[in-house]
Structures are given as structure tokens and as C-alpha cells.
């Protein structure tokens, strides 16, 4: 069906174009009759090129039939027809190839018009002119002498035919809609009417006007040609050109019009030139305006797109502005909330600080009142233990003693931590041999280790360190105490290792160890691993909190390494003193000297009757000769009796004019002796610095264990002797 309709369409097209070819050829031949055998335009060349370009080379029968039928009609020799036919087919093929090769869009752009003019219009007719001229001469039409002019006129005629008819067909082929508005229709009518009229007047005007030369008004068509080219495009331009051409040919056929002259060759050339100029002008102008219109359209599109984009961007911007505004509002709200919580936080901090201060003040106040009775309990318990002869009570007394001791330890630790927190603890840095301290600690904890059947060893060390010995003692005491507490088998080892400018002091044990998670939290207050029920026998949970605080105060790094089930190693890095004087470590293990009870005389001063009584009894039991005084006056009275005290032990806060320190100074002045003295106080705010201690006077905090007090007194007595 398709094949059938295709071939029918093909045949129809061939028939149509053959008829057009033949018809226009016959008109041209008619004109040739009046032009000595030449024609100013050969339309079949343009019709053939359009057919070839539009429907392909298979349209060759159009030319073959056209030329063949023309030959029959004119009766020229077959050889002439064949050669002219070949020339014409070649011309159409060359024109078509040039159009395709150079991608020439007929009448579209200015450059297309230029290319069209120089390639298919001027180049391809060279082929037809050459073949046609030779064919005609061979067929006996014309002689070789006339060959040049024949060739030239053939070339010009074909060029005119292509220039006018190919664009004309392109413009009008399958474009049914001529006008879209009424004004456009009017324009069409005006242009056609005036072109027709001017053509008629110009090319038949010889007889119409009486003025000489009034017929040479062919230029009048120009405004209408330009109008058509600008306003009506390719179709308008080619139609006006066709009308002009038609009138030119009419004039030529009827021997009228401005080109009429005796020299027919010159007449033909004038006519051809006119047709070429008209057709080319129309094509160029319409192409230029077409491009201009397209550019304007593009520009307008771009403008519209840009406007759209600007509108879109403006909308986006407004949107972002709105969002920004919302964010700013939200931020303002957050800032307000932040300020509010800041104020609340500040208030809470202030309250916490106040609470902390109150706590510290309370502890300071309470400590003195707690320490005094505790001292009495400890002293009386010791007395009871010494003087008890009833075995049934022995266990209860021992329990009482242990409870008192543990209460004292807890109080010490609690006060220690609160003192550090209150920033009361000051550092007193000095150079000292670390081995002395380690040796002391070994001695202090040897008994506890022995009780648990574990060994407590110390590796001697000769290094001098720079730190606060009292604070280092607090740290190491806690560490050694823990090591013994949490070790059931094996040993605890005290040792040092030099690490550049630092001395690492290690307290290692083979105890229960601490898990990795546990190592992160053991330094928090009250924290005890595996002791959620807070069994006080296992400790208070204050030890490591104190250690960490003191280490921080001294700026000494603290480390812990531990493997559960294997043991732990706590280490403290202390700066090594720059002045290292070789200090021979004491190789002998520290064991406190046995009972060196002497009949030394102690002057004991305390305004608290119970404490005075208990301590007095205890010290007497320990073998000292004790003179008890409840205040400064009683002490002076004792002196008046000729008392020569070996050691003065006085409470710090006494009623009357003197503090303990001042009383000691006064007593020394009155006896004229520098009696070694001890200030025994429960006031935790007192330190060696602020108590105003005289020379050779030692500050001892209450409550002090009876054994410890004895140890201190003996040491003082030893130094005196």
C-alpha cells in the first residue's frame, strides 16, 4: 500500500515537475523567437534543481522527459537533445550536491544567500551551458563562431532561472497559510497590486504615457519589493520578483518595455541583469530581516528568561530572608533562654559556693568540737586497755579502741578533703631525700602488713626530690594503706625509678586489681569498687580523692596500672632536685625503737577537763611524770613550785590572755629555758605558718593516737639528749 502510494506520488511529482519544466521552457522558447535565439531567463533550470534537491536524484526523468519532448516539439537533432539533456541533468545534480555539501538553507540567512549565489546559481550552469552549446552546434543550431555568446547567454539564462525559481518554489511549496491577520492580507494585496500595476505600466508603458522615457520607471517596484521582503519574507520577495520577471518577459515577448532595443543580445543581457538584481535584492533583504527578527526574538526570549530567573531569584531571596528572619527570631529566643539559664546557673553556682563555704565553715567549727571528745575517748580507751584486768571486758575495749581509731581516720580524711577544697592547703616545697619518707612509711605500715601476712618491701633510693614532704606523705600513706587493704596474698613494694627530670615513685601490690572501667572512677569522692553497700570496714572512699587533689595541688602526675586478679601499681612523678647531693640510702628497715619509757616531766595544759584528765592519765601510764594544768594561771602556779618540765604540751585555744603558743613563750621566758614544746590542737585552720609557733615547738593535730603522741614526745626527748 505504502509502496504503491509512494510510486504514485513519485509519478505524480515527475509529471508535475515535467509539465512545469516543459511549460516554462516553452514560454522561454517563445521569448527566444524575439531575441535572436537567446532567452534572458531559463526557469526549467531552477525547477529541476528544486525537484532534485527536494526529492532526490531519482527526479532525473523530469529533465530527460522535458528536454526530450522539447526536442520533439522544436524538431532539433536528437544528438542535440541528448547532449543538452545530459548537461541539464548534470547541472541539477551539481547544484543539488553543492546545496547539500555546503549546507545551504535557501533564503534563511544572509550567508546562505551568498553561498547560494556563488555555488549553485553561478557554478552549476557552467556545466549545462558547456554541454548545451556543444550539443546545439553539433545538431546544426548555431556555428562555432557564435559558440562564446551562445555559451554565455545559456549560462546567464540558467543562473537567472535558478536564482529566481528555486527560492520561489522553496518559499511556496507546501505552505498553505498565507496570512494570519487581516492587515497581513491587506499587505499582500497592496504589494501584489502595486507590483502588477508598476510592472504593467513600466513594461507596456511605451504607449501609455506621452512623456519621453516615462516607461523607464522599473525602479518604482523597489519599495514594494523591499516591503514584501521585509514584511512578507521569502514568499513575498520571490513573488514580487516573479511578477517583475513576468512583466520583463511579457515586454520581451511583445517587443515593448524599457529594455526594447535592436541589439537583442544586449537586450537579453539587460533583462537578465534586471531579473538577477531584483531576485538577489529580494533574497538578501528578506534573509537579513529574517535574521534580525530571529535575533530580536531570541533577545526577547533571553530577556523573558532573565526576567523569569530574576523573579525566581527574588522569590528565593525573599524565601531565604524569611528563613533568616525566623532563624534570627529563634536565635533571639535561644539567646534569651541561654541568658536565663546562665543567670540560673550563676545563681546555682553562687548557692553551691555558699553551701560549700558553709560546709567548710561547719566542718572547721565542728572539727574542734569533735576532736576534743574523740581525743578523750581514745585516751580513756587506751587507759582502760592498759588498766583492765577483767578478760571479759578486753574484747569490748579493743572494739571501742578500733571504732575510735576508725572514727578518727574518717574525720581526718573528711577534713583533709574539705581543707583542700577550701583552698586552705598550701604547699611548702623543699629539697628532701625521698628514701627517708619511704622508710618512715614502711615502718608505719609494717605492722598492718604483718597482720595480713603479706610482705611490705622497699627498694632503697638515693635521689633528692623537690616537693612538699608533708603532702607527699599524705599521698603515699593513702596509696600504701590501700595496697595493704586490697592485697590478701603476696607483697606490697615501694620503689622509685628515675625518668629524666622526674622521679617516679611506685606503690605496687599483688592484690585484687582494678578493672579498666574502675580505673576511670576510683578517684571520685566516696567511690568504692565492689562496695555498693558502703561497708565502712573496707574504707571510706576518700583516700584516692584526697590523693588526686593533693597530686593536682602539687602538679605531680599520678598514674595507675592494674590487672584484675593480678595487682595494681600506682605511681607519682615528682621533680628531681637540681642539686643532687649523694644521699646514702638507709639500707636498714625502719622499726621503731622499743619502749623508751623515761621519767621525763611533761607539763600538760588543756582547758577541757575531760581531755586533760584522759591525756594526763594516759601519759602517766606510758611512764611519764605528768603535771596537768587547766589554763595559764595553773601553769604559772606549777612553775612557781619549781617545776622543770622536759616537754610542754599545750592546747592552742585557751581561756584568758594567752594562746597555747604565747603561753609556751611566756613559760620559757619565766623559766629562762627553751623547753621543747608541742601544741596539741583540734583547730584545723591552724598550720605551722599561722599558729605563731615559737622555736622548737611542734604542731600536732587532735585527735592523735596515744602511740603516735608518745612517739613524738620520745623523739623530742631524744633530740634534747
| 544-552, long-range: CB < 8 A, 24+ apart | 544/478, 544/482, 545/417, 546/413, 546/416, 546/417, 546/420, 546/474, 546/478, 547/474, 547/475, 547/478, 547/479, 547/523, 548/523, 549/417, 549/420, 549/421, 550/420, 550/425, 550/471, 550/474, 550/475, 551/475
Q: Say which residues have a Cβ less than 8 Å from residue 542's Cβ, sequence separation at least 6.
A: 410, 413, 414, 416, 417, 525, 526
- Contact 701/651 with Cβ under 8 angstroms? no
CA pair distance 560, 571, nearest whole angstrom: 6
Interaction residues for ligand ADP, span 533-562 (CB under 6 A): 538-545
520: contact with ligand ADP by CB under 6 A: no
Q: Minimal distance in Å, beta carbon 559 to ligand ADP?
A: 13
- Contact 108/149 with Cβ under 8 angstroms? no
28: contact with ligand ADP by CB under 6 A: no
Q: Which stretch binds ligand ADP (CB under 6 A): 28-36, 361-369, 425-433, 532-540?
A: 532-540
486: contact with ligand ADP by CB under 6 A: yes
List, edge to edge, every strand of the sheet that includes 601-605: 625-629, 601-605, 647-651, 677-681, 697-701
Of 18 and 548, which has the nearer Cβ to ligand ADP? 548
What is the dihedral sign for C-alpha 412, 415, 420, 426?
A: negative
Three cell numbers written together for 687:
598550720
Q: Say which residues have a Cβ less than 8 Å from residue 254's Cβ, sequence separation at least 6.
A: 204
Interaction residues for ligand ADP, span 197-226 (CB under 6 A): none
Of 130 and 478, which has the nearer Cβ to ligand ADP? 478
Q: Which of 114, 384, 506, 512 binds ligand ADP (CB under 6 A)?
A: 512
Tell the residue number behind the cell numbers 514584501, with chain if given.
228
Q: Minimal distance in Å, beta carbon 526 to ligand ADP?
A: 8
Q: Minimal distance in Å, beta carbon 502 to ligand ADP?
A: 22
Q: Which stretch binds ligand ADP (CB under 6 A): 51-59, 239-247, 381-389, 479-487?
A: 479-487
Query: 418-455 b/e with 16+ CB inside 10 Å = b?
Result: bbbbbeebeeeeeebbbbebbbbbbebbbeebeeeebe
Of 513 and 660, which has the nearer Cβ to ligand ADP? 513
Q: Minimal distance in Å, beta carbon 564 to ligand ADP?
A: 9
Of 401 and 541, which has the nearer Cβ to ligand ADP? 541
Q: Minimal distance in Å, beta carbon 327 to ligand ADP?
A: 49
Q: Minimal distance in Å, beta carbon 648 to ligand ADP?
A: 36
Q: Minimal distance in Å, beta carbon 412 to ligand ADP?
A: 12
Tell the residue number behind the cell numbers 587507759, with chain if given.
383
CA dihedral of 575, 580, 581, 582, whole degrees rounded to 10: 90
Q: Which stretch binds ligand ADP (CB under 6 A): 131-139, 375-383, 528-536, 630-638?
A: 528-536
CA pair distance 281, 293, nearest whole angstrom: 18
Tell the residue number behind the cell numbers 585516751, with chain if given.
379
480: contact with ligand ADP by CB under 6 A: no
Q: Minimal distance in Å, beta carbon 509 to ligand ADP?
A: 5
Q: Which stretch binds ligand ADP (CB under 6 A): 181-189, 313-321, 401-409, 512-520?
A: 512-520
CA pair distance 604, 651, nearest whole angstrom: 8
Of 165 and 486, which has the nearer Cβ to ligand ADP? 486
Of 68 and 490, which has the nearer Cβ to ligand ADP? 490
Of 456 and 602, which has the nearer Cβ to ligand ADP? 456
Q: Minimal distance in Å, beta carbon 448 to ligand ADP?
A: 13
511: contact with ligand ADP by CB under 6 A: yes
Q: Which of 49, 156, 522, 713 binds ligand ADP (CB under 6 A)?
A: 522
Of 252 and 479, which has the nearer Cβ to ligand ADP? 479
514: contact with ligand ADP by CB under 6 A: yes
- Contact 599/452 with Cβ under 8 angstroms? no
CA pair distance 367, 652, nearest whole angstrom: 14
CA pair distance 600, 514, nearest whole angstrom: 49
Of 539 and 703, which has the nearer Cβ to ligand ADP? 539
Q: Minimal distance in Å, beta carbon 449 to ligand ADP?
A: 13
Of 452 and 485, which has the nearer Cβ to ligand ADP? 485
Q: Which of 28, 272, 442, 568 binds ligand ADP (CB under 6 A)?
A: 568
571: contact with ligand ADP by CB under 6 A: no
Interaction pattern, residues 166-185, with ligand ADP; x per rule: CB under 6 A:
--------------------
528: contact with ligand ADP by CB under 6 A: yes
CA pair distance 354, 608, nearest whole angstrom: 32
Q: Which stretch binds ligand ADP (CB under 6 A): 117-125, 349-357, 507-515, 579-587?
A: 507-515
CA pair distance 607, 586, nearest whole angstrom: 43
Q: Say which residues have a Cβ less than 8 Å from residue 389's Cβ, sequence separation at least 6.
A: none
Three cell numbers written together for 133:
552549446
Of 114 and 410, which has the nearer Cβ to ligand ADP? 410
- For ligand ADP (CB under 6 A), the number of binding residues is 24
Q: Which of 34, 482, 632, 650 binds ligand ADP (CB under 6 A)?
A: 482
CA pair distance 232, 236, nearest whole angstrom: 5
529: contact with ligand ADP by CB under 6 A: yes
Q: Which stretch binds ligand ADP (CB under 6 A): 183-191, 523-531, 623-631, 640-648?
A: 523-531
- Contact 378/406 with Cβ under 8 angstroms? no
717: contact with ligand ADP by CB under 6 A: no
Q: Which stretch binds ligand ADP (CB under 6 A): 47-55, 64-72, 525-533, 673-681?
A: 525-533
Of 214 and 459, which has the nearer Cβ to ligand ADP? 459
Q: Minimal distance in Å, beta carbon 609 to ligand ADP?
A: 35
CA pair distance 246, 258, nearest whole angstrom: 14
Q: Which of 412, 509, 573, 607 binds ligand ADP (CB under 6 A)?
A: 509
CB atoms within 10 A of CB 614: 23
- Work out the angle between the directed axes of helices 264-387 and 221-254 (0-180°, nearest 10): 140
Tell the residue number behind the cell numbers 518559499, with chain if given.
171
Residues that bind ligand ADP in the complex, under the rule CB under 6 A:
478, 482-483, 485-486, 509, 511-514, 522, 527-529, 531, 538-545, 568
Amino acid at each position: 500500500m505504502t509502496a504503491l502510494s509512494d510510486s504514485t506520488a513519485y509519478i505524480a511529482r515527475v509529471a508535475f515537475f515535467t509539465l512545469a519544466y516543459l511549460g516554462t521552457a516553452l514560454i522561454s522558447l517563445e521569448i527566444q523567437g524575439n531575441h535572436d535565439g537567446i532567452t534572458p531567463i531559463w526557469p526549467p533550470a531552477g525547477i529541476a534543481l528544486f525537484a532534485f534537491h527536494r526529492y532526490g536524484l531519482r527526479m532525473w526523468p523530469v529533465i530527460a522527459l522535458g528536454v526530450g519532448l522539447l526536442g520533439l516539439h522544436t524538431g532539433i537533432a536528437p544528438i542535440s537533445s541528448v547532449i543538452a539533456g545530459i548537461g541539464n541533468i548534470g547541472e541539477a545534480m551539481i547544484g543539488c550536491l553543492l546545496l547539500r555539501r555546503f549546507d545551504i538553507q535557501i533564503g534563511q540567512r544572509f550567508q546562505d544567500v551568498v553561498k547560494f549565489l556563488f555555488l549553485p546559481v553561478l557554478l552549476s550552469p557552467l556545466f549545462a551551458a558547456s554541454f548545451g552549446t556543444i550539443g546545439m552546434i553539433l545538431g546544426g543550431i548555431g556555428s562555432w563562431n557564435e559558440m562564446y555568446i551562445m555559451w554565455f547567454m545559456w549560462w546567464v539564462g540558467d543562473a537567472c532561472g535558478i536564482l529566481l525559481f528555486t527560492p520561489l518554489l522553496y518559499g511556496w511549496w507546501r505552505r498553505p497559510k498565507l496570512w494570519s491577520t487581516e492587515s497581513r492580507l491587506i499587505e499582500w494585496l497592496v504589494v501584489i497590486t502595486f507590483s502588477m500595476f508598476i510592472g504593467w505600466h513600466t513594461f507596456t508603458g511605451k504607449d501609455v504615457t506621452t512623456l519621453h522615457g516615462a516607461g523607464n520607471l522599473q525602479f518604482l517596484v523597489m519599495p514594494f519589493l523591499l516591503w514584501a521582503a521585509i514584511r512578507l519574507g521569502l514568499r513575498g520577495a520571490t513573488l514580487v520578483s516573479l511578477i517583475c520577471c513576468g512583466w520583463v518577459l511579457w515586454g520581451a515577448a511583445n517587443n515593448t518595455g524599457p529594455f526594447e532595443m535592436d541589439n537583442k543580445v544586449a537586450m537579453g543581457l539587460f533583462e537578465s541583469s534586471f531579473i538577477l538584481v531584483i531576485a538577489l535584492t529580494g533574497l538578501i533583504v528578506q534573509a537579513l530581516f529574517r535574521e534580525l527578527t530571529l535575533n530580536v526574538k531570541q533577545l526577547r526570549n533571553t530577556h523573558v528568561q532573565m526576567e523569569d530567573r530574576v523573579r525566581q531569584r527574588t522569590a528565593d531571596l525573599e524565601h531565604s530572608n524569611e528563613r533568616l528572619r525566623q532563624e534570627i527570631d529563634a536565635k533571639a529566643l535561644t539567646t534569651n533562654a541561654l541568658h536565663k539559664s546562665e543567670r540560673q546557673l550563676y545563681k546555682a553556682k553562687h548557692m553551691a559556693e555558699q553551701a560549700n563555704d558553709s560546709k567548710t565553715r561547719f566542718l572547721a567549727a565542728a572539727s574542734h568540737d569533735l576532736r576534743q571528745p574523740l581525743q578523750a575517748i581514745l585516751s580513756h580507751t587506751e587507759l582502760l586497755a592498759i588498766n583492765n584486768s577483767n578478760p571479759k571486758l578486753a574484747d569490748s575495749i579493743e572494739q571501742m579502741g578500733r571504732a575510735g581509731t576508725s572514727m578518727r581516720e574518717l574525720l581526718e580524711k573528711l577534713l583533709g578533703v574539705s581543707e583542700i577544697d577550701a583552698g586552705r592547703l598550701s604547699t611548702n616545697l623543699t629539697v628532701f631525700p625521698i628514701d627517708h619518707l619511704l622508710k618512715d612509711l614502711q615502718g608505719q605500715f609494717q605492722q598492718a602488713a604483718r597482720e595480713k601476712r603479706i610482705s611490705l618491701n622497699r627498694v632503697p633510693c638515693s635521689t633528692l626530690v623537690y616537693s612538699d614532704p608533708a603532702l607527699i606523705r599524705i599521698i603515699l600513706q593513702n596509696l600504701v594503706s590501700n595496697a595493704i587493704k586490697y592485697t590478701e596474698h603476696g607483697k606490697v613494694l615501694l620503689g622509685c625509678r628515675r625518668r629524666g627530670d622526674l622521679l617516679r615513685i611506685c606503690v605496687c601490690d599483688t592484690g585484687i586489681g582494678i578493672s579498666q572501667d574502675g580505673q576511670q572512677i576510683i578517684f571520685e569522692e566516696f567511690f568504692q569498687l565492689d562496695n555498693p553497700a558502703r561497708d565502712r570496714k573496707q574504707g571510706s572512699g576518700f583516700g584516692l580523692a584526697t590523693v588526686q587533689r593533693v597530686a593536682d595541688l602539687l602538679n605531680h602526675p599520678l598514674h595507675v596500672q592494674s590487672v584484675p586478679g593480678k595487682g595494681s601499681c600506682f605511681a607519682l612523678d615528682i621533680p628531681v632536685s637540681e642539686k643532687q647531693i649523694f644521699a646514702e640510702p638507709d639500707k636498714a628497715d625502719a622499726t621503731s625503737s622499743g619502749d623508751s619509757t623515761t621519767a621525763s616531766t611533761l607539763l600538760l595544759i588543756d582547758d577541757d577537763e575531760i581531755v586533760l584528765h584522759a591525756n594526763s592519765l594516759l601519759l602517766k601510764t606510758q611512764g611519764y611524770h605528768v603535771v596537768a594544768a587547766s589554763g595559764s594561771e595553773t601553769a604559772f602556779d606549777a612553775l612557781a613550785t619549781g617545776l622543770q618540765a622536759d616537754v610542754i604540751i599545750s592546747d592552742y585555744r585557751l581561756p584568758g590572755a594567752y594562746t597555747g603558743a604565747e603561753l609556751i613563750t611566756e613559760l620559757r621566758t619565766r623559766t629562762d629555758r627553751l623547753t621543747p614544746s608541742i601544741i596539741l590542737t583540734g583547730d584545723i585552720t591552724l598550720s605551722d605558718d599561722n599558729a605563731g609557733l615559737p622555736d622548737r615547738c611542734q604542731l600536732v593535730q587532735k585527735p592523735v593516737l596515744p602511740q603516735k603522741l608518745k612517739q613524738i614526745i620520745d623523739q623530742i626527748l631524744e633530740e634534747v639528749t
